Amino acid sequence: MKPGKKTAVVISFTIGIVMFATTAFAEVTSKSGYDQLKDSVKYTAKACTSGLSSYTVDMSFAVKDGTSTVYSGDNISRYDLSNKSKEDISTVYSGSKKAENYYYMDRNSVINKPKDSPSYYVTNYTDGTNWSMTNPFDEDRASDIEKIADAIVGNLKDSVSVNVKQDGSREISGSLNSTQIPSLINALVSLQFKNSFAEDIRRSGDTINVPELTNNIFVKNVRGTASVDKNGLIRTVLGSGIISGTDKNGQNHNLTFELLLKTSNIDSTTIKKPDLSGKKTIVQTAKSSEVNKLSNPEKYLGTYTQNIVIEKNGEFIKIGEGTITIEKIDTNTVSGTYESKYTSGYEDENQKLNFSGNFDKQKNGGDDFNAEITAAADSKEPVKGNLHLNPNYAGIQFSIDGNALTNYDSQYNKVFK
């Protein structure tokens, strides 16, 4: 029987798809493992921001000093692109201290429960939340960053291998030892670790027991494996690495970093808005068009406090209280005082500083709610710091560079009369 016109079109289309797929597969198999890994990352980023209807990402990480785990965390993120909602549950462990955060967002509201907060902060937006997902590879600077990464990796691309399985999925893996890692990478790791690793954790508000390496910092080894399905979507990533170095006392440390990431429940993830019945809530109404603007700075005037806590003899002990007082604030500047008062036996740590600073501006690529500050006492050299106003609840984050308090926490909550 002679096929009709519609059938002939279908046959032609099918043959074209088969030819295209065969050519594409031949191209993929001829690519290096490094290039296949990059392709999978790009495909996954595109799928997770626009291609999939829903998915779940589970991530766990750990930092070990020798055999002791000093910092770890678990994070479960659920995304429902069809219904424009997402949920994030994170738990961080530092020593014996545990901190949990909860975040939920849909078309009309945001629910946030910060760590150590007894309340859920609910913001209902009268004009919607402007929920969106952005592919980082669509940004203008993405290609330049990729070129820089390619240049740094250099000949290490040859260390990435690919195992193609019968079902079309792939396992991409690689490992390097200290003799294979270029001096440039070690220099970058050393610079990053000295300048910002420990401080970034502190400013996030998490307790930190990770040793601060100051000298002889280098990467001893690194290895990783990524499982990619037949469509090119990364399903699991397992990575680890060891960074060696000495602290300010000359003691050597081998810090092991471990990461496990898993993507699951593809197109079947469901998210339910949390039932806050019987929970302590603080509810407010806002406009999303003003969420990134410091339109009412006067509401942040007042006093904010935190407990200063150390771990001693297997338990947490309060040894003082930190107080921030915002005395003056407008859309451009902020000023006030910081004071820490300690209990008997720790009085030498007492401190009182005056601070002032300017808010970053969006037009300069900054944040209306973030201020770089300078703090000083009358008889001491000024120090740099950071103050961040939280637009979703009555709290601020405040940190001073070089503050080495045990169990330092940057979160301060507003005191209400």
Residues 159 and 200 in one domain: yes
Residues 169 and 254 in one domain: yes
**Domain for residue 179, yes or no?**
yes
Query: How many domains does the structure of the chain reveal?
Result: 2
pLDDT of residue 363: 53
pLDDT of residue 366: 55
CATH number at residue 345: 2.40.128
pLDDT of residue 175: 86
**Joined tokens for residue 404:** 């080495």
CB half-sphere exposure, 253, CA atoms < 13 A: 25
Contact 372, 386 (CB under 8 A): yes
pLDDT of residue 409: 64
**Domain for residue 79, yes or no?**
yes
Please name which of 316, 383, 317, 308 lies closest in space to residue 349, comparing C-alpha atoms. Answer: 308
**Domain for residue 258, yes or no?**
yes
**Domain for residue 68, yes or no?**
yes
pLDDT of residue 13: 39
pLDDT of residue 403: 58
Residues 219 and 71 in one domain: yes
pTM of the model: 0.67
Residues 65 and 164 in one domain: yes
Residues 316 and 260 in one domain: no
- How many helices and strands, by DSSP H and E, does the chain display? 5, 20
The count of residues in the chain is 417
**Joined tokens for residue 411:** 């979160």
Residues spanned by the domain of 296 = 292-414
Residues 303 and 361 in one domain: yes
**Domain for residue 23, yes or no?**
no
Q: Consecutive sets of 10 residues in the chain, 417 residues long: mean pLDDT of each?
A: 39 40 42 82 90 94 87 93 94 81 94 85 88 84 79 75 89 86 82 65 54 85 91 92 88 90 95 94 81 80 89 80 93 92 86 89 66 81 87 82 57 85
Contact 112, 103 (CB under 8 A): yes
**Domain for residue 219, yes or no?**
yes
**Domain for residue 226, yes or no?**
yes
Helices 142-153 and 183-192, interaxial angle, to 10°? 120
36 burial type by CB count under 10 A (0-12 exposed, 13-18 middle, 19+ buried): buried
**194-200 contacts: CB < 8 A, separation 24 or more?**
199/401
